[in-house]
Amino acid sequence: MTETTERANVGPPDTRLWEQIAKGDHAAFTELFERHAEAVWNYAYRLTASWSQAEDLLSATFLTAWRKRGDAQLVRDSALPWLYTVTANRARTEWRASRRALRLVTKLTPQDERDHADEVAARTDAQRRLAEVVAAIVKLPASEREIAQLCLLGDMSTADAAALLGIAESSVRARVSRTRARLRDLTPEDNG
């Protein structure tokens, strides 16, 4: 059992915290944040391969949680699937915005100039590998991409993913298997 899982099992269940948060209870929100912030940050990092973007997504996710505290529906008595969904949606929105900005910068900048961000990213092999996996996930069909984000990047259980997606757990397990095989085909082998 991980430290995050142990913390999630201490104190009142997420549903009770969420009821208190819906009434504006700041202490309950702080407890929910402390319970799930590490898991949400890790998920955001795996989606973006960037510490700073993961920090931004963590902040944006919990800001959204506070703003939508009266509207959100929890899955299987846990706030984590909902928080993961908000994080993934936010990451997709930011990715699209960055792609638009990159296209604009590419049009404005001479092609022979090297981008400082590329040099920084090239320094860390682990970040490179993670970026390749994230890029491969983007190429997957929507159902497999969603499974990869939830189960492979987000470490969500197949039971939770099945409940969130409204499909059978056996279907989720089959999709996870197919998605792993497809990702092996889409990502280059490490020659290390």
Which of 30-34, 157-161, 177-181 tops mean pLDDT?
30-34
Q: Which of 34-43, 74-83, 128-137, 151-160 has the lowest mean pLDDT?
A: 128-137
Q: Which residues make beta-bridge pairs with 87?
A: none
Mean pLDDT, rounded, for 39-57: 93
Q: How confident is the model at residue 117 (pLDDT cuts 50, 70, 90)?
A: low
Query: pLDDT at position 74, please?
Result: 81
Ordered domains of the chain (ranges, CATH): 1-92 (1.10.1740.10), 124-192 (1.10.10.10)
Mean pLDDT, rounded, for 17-37: 94
Asked whether residue 11 carries a pLDDT value surpassing 90, the answer given is no
Mean pLDDT, rounded, for 39-65: 93
What are 126-139's pLDDT values in tens digits? 667 777 878 888 88
Please give the Cα distance from 189 to 185 (Å, whole number): 9
Q: How confident is the model at residue 9 (pLDDT cuts 50, 70, 90)?
A: low
Q: Which residues lie closer than 8 Å to 70 by C-beta, 6 or more apart? A: 22
- Smallest CA-to-CA distance from 20 within 74, 89, 97, 87 is with 74
| pTM exceeding the 0.95 threshold for the entire prediction | no
Contact 137/149 with Cβ under 8 angstroms?
yes
What are 59-97's pLDDT values in tens digits? 999 999 999 988 887 877 889 999 999 999 998 988 888
Please give the Cα distance from 121 to 98 (Å, whole number): 16
